[in-house]
Amino acid sequence: MKKRVLAALLAAAMVVGALAGCGTPKTKESKESTGSDSGEKVFRYSTRTEPTTLDPTKSNCIPDNEIQHALTESLVRNTGGEVTPGVAKDWTVSDDGLVYTFNLNPDAKWSDGEQIKAEDYVYSWQRLMDPETAAPYAFIGEYIKNGLAVETGEMEPTELGVVAKDDTTLEVTLEHPTAYFLSMIGAQAQFAPLRKDIVEKYGAEFAADAEKNVYSGPYVLTSAKNQKWIFEPNENYWDKDSIKLDRVELSYVQNQETALAMYESGDLDYSEIPSAAVPNYEGKDNKFRNGNVDYYYFNMDETKDSPITNKNFRLALNYALDRNSYNTLVNNDVYAPSNSLVFSGLQGADGKYGEESKLNSYPLEGDEAKAKEYLDAALAELGKASASDITVTITTSDADSAKKQAEVCQEMWTTKLGINVEINQITYAEVLKRHETGDFEIAWGGWGSDYDDPYSYLELFKSDSSYNYSHYKSDKVDELLKASQTETDAKKRMEMLHEAEQIIIDDGAFLPQAEREVHYLVDDDVKGLNFFYCSINLDWVYADIQ
Amino acid sequence: MRKYIVKRVIAAVLTMWVLITAVFFLVRLMPGDPFQNPKMTEEVRANLESYYGFDKPLIVQYGVYMKNLLQGDFGYSMKFTNKTVNTIIGETFPFSADLGIRALVLAISMGLVLGIISARNRGKKLDFFCVVIAVLGTSIPDFIMGAILQYGFGIKWGLLPVAQYNGIKYTILPACALAFYTLASVSRIMRASMLEVSQQDYIKTARSKGVSEMRITVKHQIRNAIMPVMTVMGPTVASVLTGTFVIESIFAIPGMGKYYVESVSNNDYSMVLGMTIFYGVFLIFCNLVVDILYGVADPRVRIGER
């Protein structure tokens, strides 16, 4: 008996030993990459949000878009806000701004050598809007004529406003004039061309890995395994002389401290800096704003018995917030405090929207006296004897940053206004649900735009928008936003949008807080990186190592 | 023996069915849904719901799921839309298991040695040293241990790679960080068990027969003292091999841990279910192996079946 015990233990030990000796799982591709010693131009960076798909139609987050920006060639290419020809060498727009006719470059080829044809765009856009596809970002295609009707199944995908006149002529009809249409299709992955034969060949497996696709863009994907994506130049790309890098390696590194450590030890050429570590890199870091804004929604639903429905009360909350101190306490001064709705870095009529803005808003440092005036007016209107009779609840997510945000607001409002503030932390998924059900008084909110235009942010306060979680209704704002969609004079249009923003601020319709800023480190020899604030943050397509 | 195993397997299948059914329905009670995009519109949501069959009654969805499951199909992830849960497990489990096996070999061998040394030198300096290691191991959280090792060996002295998993030397730091806790607990259990066994009559008999101390320890004490360590090995092996969120995150290892943890906050129903089932089967299997080994090692365990 004892011998059997011993034998069993020995056998177990041998199995464990054998398994332990079987070597690490294969990461062949990554073993070859030991930097740019061989004279190869290699750019290595990481993302902390894992890309969700390699199917352009189903892209639904910034990392997805960034990957497709390198692998696909849209009609035009948007590089840091500048629109240049892509597969379309030129285009015309009808006088009413509704019909775009693109002339495609006959030399533009897929990575397998086939010509990129107008039909490839028609197929891709129809697939995007087809309810059967269930693309999570299908709403981006509602700009195209009949987009919404196709999406809801009322019309066939073939009735979508995109037609291939011949192999090199594509005609796109829009629902309404859209000033930012070209800019949008140049950065949003969903507008990339697709090859019907390839998609149908692989079916559900299409783009499941690097081999199950063909590529229209400047790079092809040679590997997509084990949280690592490897890009190499596309030999058949129409503009391949502009592409300088020999290889790009993207690693998914969730932990920002780890990414930074990898940068420090030379395993990465580019890394974001976690906000707590930003002070350690003063003078060495670079930064860009990624277009994301942080704010709180106020629920103005009149049927709710909440002080938030009172305009003076909302203004009191807005004036009581010292956004400079807020930014120090919540964001380590890494972000930029904000008292406006539209991200300041967007393209305006001539320059940047923020520079052209004459917005008259709550001062960044707050104004306690004014806050109290508004509070007194609110108390009188609400029929409350004192501020301590008022209790409001902030509904926010369970993230650490969300907690800090809420606690700082709570502290400022309690000490300056004397009201009671409660914090209700729930999961992120539930916060999103609450936005829709309207079951909140004050709720966490954040927005980043899919296109380079103020409309994206202002739409949050358009009364019939599905994003109007605040139940805000201003006839004037609705009117201005509607008019802005048909106005073709860029300057006049921008003025309308500025005016709408002013009304929203005057109504205290929400609580602006901060614009997000990303701090990063990059090796000195890396040149030509571009940064953008819609759809894409980091664009290395034209980067070079010198 | 065969009857014993058959009985255990039937119990395991029943346990799995209860687990799957409970998780299937409970996961739907979580607030929110898998389509977590602040920009989601009603129209897109409706299309997604019909795509995943959420518009059908829950009991029908359960039937479809069970049918697919019997064919070994966990379905598509709802977050990583063009990957199946099977693919994700297939890609990530080898990394977690590889790391886990290394950590376990280290933890068990070192833990046993420390426990034995400690017991044999009870009350002496060496014992004290081993106890300190055990206390540190159980009280330092793995994210601190991982960060310390990473900083010291990776950044400060540059001896080992900071992160990722591209070869043998990449495995050393995460395996040590992961092993530390198990090592400490194994050494504590072994020490206590060794001391308990040393009071037994058969040890006294052996000693009075004049058997050498070394022979007593090796032949009698260790073999009997190891049983409690085997008992805890089932759950330990299962949890270490299926990946740990924290260590894998710190060392950027493409393992399973993250997908298991995040599938819950993502409300990725198919992923939660797939991961739970995989982990459940693995845990039951490990416990079964331990039970069988136990039966082999200790005749008293098998008395019940006779």
Eight-state DSSP code of residue A333:
T
Residues of chain A contacting residue B162, judged by C-beta atoms under 8 Å apart: 258, 261-262, 264-265, 267
Structure confidence at residue B32 (pLDDT):
83
Supply the range of the domain harboring residue A337: 290-518
Residue A311 lies in a domain: yes
pLDDT band at A322 (very low <50, low <70, confident <90, very high): very high
Q: Which residue has the tokens 């201005």?
A: A480
Preferred mutation among A49, A227, A280, A424 to probe B, highest tally of B CBs within 10 A: A227
CA angle B43, B47, B53 (to 5 degrees): 145
Q: Give yes or no for a contact between B102 and B177, defined as CB atoms under 8 angstroms apart.
A: no
Asked whether residue B237 carries a pLDDT value surpassing 70, the answer given is yes
Mean pLDDT of B235-251: 89
**Residue of A134, A206, A446 with shortest CB distance to B47:** A134
Task: Tally the domains of chain A.
Answer: 2
Predicted confidence at residue A4, as pLDDT, reads 47
Statement to judge: residues A367 and A490 lie in one domain: yes
DSSP 3-state of B143: helix
Confidence of residue B304 (pLDDT cuts 50, 70, 90): low
Q: Beta A530-534 vs A286-298: how paired, if at all? A: unpaired
Mean pLDDT of B237-247: 87
Instruction: Tell me which residues of chain A, numbers 81 to 120, contact chain B at a CB-CB cutoff of 8 Å.
Output: none
> Which residue, among A188, A113, A130, A132, has the nearest Cα to A453 in the 3D structure?
A188
Amino acid identity, residue A36? Answer: S
Q: For residue B95, what is the nearest residue in chain A, using CA coordinates? A: A25
Cα separation, A538 vs A528, in Å, equals 11
Q: Which pLDDT score is estimated for A37?
A: 56
Q: How far apart are CA B179 and CA A479, in angstroms?
A: 65
Residue A3 has pLDDT above 90, yes or no: no
Q: How far, in Å, CA of A308 to CA of A300, rounded? A: 6
Does A177 reside within a domain?
Answer: yes
Contact A4/B at CB under 8 A: yes
Angle between helices A311-320 and A400-417 (to 10 degrees): 110
Question: H or E element: which one contains A92?
Answer: strand A88-93
Compare CB distances from B98 to A24, A50, A257 and report the shortest one's residue.
A24
Q: Distance of CA A530 to CAs A184, A243, A286, A525, Å?
A: 16, 14, 12, 15
CB contact under 8 A, B165 and A24: yes
Model confidence pLDDT, tens digit, residues B100-136: 999 999 999 999 999 999 998 989 999 999 989 999 9
Backbone angles phi, psi at B71, to 5 degrees: -95, 10
Instruction: Name the DSSP letter for residue A347.
Output: B
How far apart are the two ends of chain B, measured CA to CA in Å?
A: 10
Chain A residues close to B251, C-beta within 8 Å: 258
Chain B nearest-CA distance from A462, in A, is 14
A258: nearest Cα among B171, B103, B176, B161 = B161
- d(Cα A77, Cα A539) in Å, to the nearest integer? 11
pLDDT digits (tens, 9 = 90+) for A452-489: 999 999 999 999 998 999 999 999 999 999 999 888 88
Q: Does residue B11 have a pLDDT over 70?
A: yes
pLDDT at A28 over 50: no
Report the mean per-residue pLDDT for chain A.
92
A328 and A463 in a single domain? The answer is yes
Angstrom distance (rounded) from CA A260 to CA A306: 46
Distances (CA, A) of A179 to A96, A142, A462, A491, A499: 11, 15, 18, 11, 18
pTM confidence score? 0.90
pLDDT band at A11 (very low <50, low <70, confident <90, very high): very low
Whole-number Å distance between alpha carbons of A226 and A405: 35
What is the model's pLDDT at position A456?
A: 94
Number of H helices, E strands in chain B: 14, 0
Our measurement of the distance from residue A308's CA atom to the centroid of its chain's CA atoms, rounded to an integer in Å, reads 29
- Kindly state whether residues A299 and A170 are assigned to the same domain: no
pLDDT tops 50 at residue B95: yes
| Adjacent-strand bridge partners of A421 | A392
Smallest CA-to-CA distance from A20 within B175, B6, B53, B278 is with B175
Confidence of residue A1 (pLDDT cuts 50, 70, 90): very low
Looking at the structure, do residues A294 and A204 belong to the same domain, yes or no? no
Per-residue model confidence (pLDDT) at position B287: 86
Q: Dihedral through CA B228, CA B233, CA B239, CA B242, nearest 10?
A: 180
List pLDDT tens digits, range A140-170. 999 999 999 999 999 999 999 999 999 999 9
DSSP A189: G
Residue at A330 is within a domain: yes
Interface contact B36-A137, CB threshold 8 A: no
Neighbouring residues of A50: CB distance < 8 A, sequence distance ≥ 6: A63, A227, A252, A254, B80
β-pair type (A536-539, A530-534): antiparallel
Q: Is a pLDDT exceeding 90 seen at residue B218?
A: no
pLDDT, average across residues A487-497: 92
Picking from A294, A316, A298, the residue whose alpha carbon sits closest to that of residue A473 is A298
Nearest alpha-carbon partner for A46 in A260, A313, A224, A331: A260
Which residue, among B29, B40, B171, B269, would best test binding to A if mutated, counting the most A CBs under 10 Å from its CB? B40
Let me know whether A178 and A296 are in one domain. no
Using an 8 Å CB-CB cutoff, list chain A residues near B82: 53-55, 58, 204-208
Q: Which residue has the higher pLDDT, B289 or A237?
A: A237
Q: Compute the nearest-CA separation of B87 from chain A (Å).
A: 10
- Same domain, yes or no, for A509 and A383? yes
Query: Is pLDDT of A31 > 60?
Result: no
Lookup: tokens for A482:
């509607």
Residue A7: which pLDDT band, with cuts at 50, 70 and 90? Answer: very low
Band (A16; pLDDT cuts 50, 70, 90): very low
Overall average pLDDT of the A287-300 stretch: 96
Percentage of residues in chain B with pLDDT exceeding 90?
55
Single-letter residue type at A270: Y
Whether the Cβ atoms of residue A391 and residue A421 lie closer than 8 Å to each other: yes
Q: Which residues of B touch A257 (CB under 8 A)?
A: 147, 250
State whether residue A39 sits within 8 Å of chain B by CB.
Answer: no
In a domain, A408, yes or no: yes
> If you average pLDDT over residues B195-215, what whole number do you get?
89
CB contact under 8 A, B44 and A9: no
Check CB contact under 8 Å for B105 and A208: no
- Is pLDDT of A8 > 80? no
Instruction: Locate all alpha helices (DSSP H) within A220-287, ordered by sequence.
Output: 256-264
pLDDT at B3 over 90: no
| pLDDT of A20 over the 60 cut | no
A404, two tokens: 């800090």
Same domain flag for A352 and A489 = yes
Closest residue in B to A148 (Cα–Cα):
B43
Helix (H) or strand (E) holding A44: strand A42-47
What is the CATH classification number for the domain harbouring A125? Answer: 3.90.76.10
Is A19 a residue whose pLDDT tops 50? Answer: no
Greatest Cα pair distance in chain B: 85
β-strand partners of A82:
A79
Residues A199 and A330 in one domain: no
The answer to whether B102 contacts chain A (CB < 8 Å) is yes
Considering CB atoms only, which of A131, A139, A433 is closest to B31? A433
**A335 shares its domain with A480:** yes
Q: Does A18 touch chain B (CB under 8 A)?
A: no
Average pLDDT over residues B179-183: 92
Angle at A405 between CA A404 and CA A411, to 5 degrees: 85
Q: Residue A320 maps to which CATH number?
A: 3.10.105.10
Checking if the pLDDT of B305 tops 70, the result is no
The reply to whether A173 and A298 lie within a common domain is no
CB-CB under 8 Å, A429 with B32: yes
End-to-end CA distance of chain A: give it in Å, rounded: 71
Of B189, B195, B199, nearest to B227 by C-alpha is B189
pLDDT band at B70; cut points 50, 70, 90: very high
Query: Does residue A347 lie within any of the structural domains?
Result: yes
> Is residue A532 one of the residues assigned to a domain?
no
**A24 falls within a domain:** no
**Shortest alpha-carbon distance between residue A419 and chain B (Å):** 30
State whether B101 and A139 contact (CB < 8 Å): no
Whether B218 and chain A come into contact, CB under 8 Å, resolves to: no
Whole-number pLDDT of residue B232: 87
pLDDT recorded at residue A222? 97
Chosen for mutation from A249, A255, A267 (greatest number of chain B CBs closer than 10 Å) is: A255
State which residue of chain A sits closest to B45, comparing Cα positions: A136
The residue-averaged pLDDT of A394-419 equals 96
Output the DSSP codes for A449-497.
-SSSSTHHHHGGG-TT-TT-TT----HHHHHHHHHHHH---HHHHHHHH
Residue B171 forms contact with A (CB below 8 Å): yes
Q: What count of residues does chain A have?
A: 546
Residue A397 inside a domain? The answer is yes
- B301, pLDDT greater than 70: no
User: Do B299 and A5 contact (CB within 8 A), yes or no?
Assistant: no
- The whole-angstrom separation of Cα A316 and Cα A376 is 9
Considering the domain architecture, whether residues A184 and A297 belong to the same structural domain is answered as: no
Work out the minimum CA distance from B20 to partner chain A, whole angstroms: 23
Question: Would you place residue B242 in the very low, low, confident or very high pLDDT band (cuts 50, 70, 90)?
Answer: confident
Identify any residues that bridge with A91 across adjacent strands, giving them in sequence order: A102
Kindly state whether B220 is in contact with chain A, defined as any CB-CB distance less than 8 angstroms.
no
CA distances from B302 to A2, B3, B48, B295 (A): 15, 11, 53, 6
Q: What is the pLDDT averaged over residues A62-75?
A: 97
B29 vs A: CB within 8 A = no
- Chain A interface includes B17 (CB < 8 A): no
Chain B CA closest to residue A444: B38
Predicted pLDDT of residue A253: 95
Q: Are residues A498 and A360 in the same domain?
A: yes
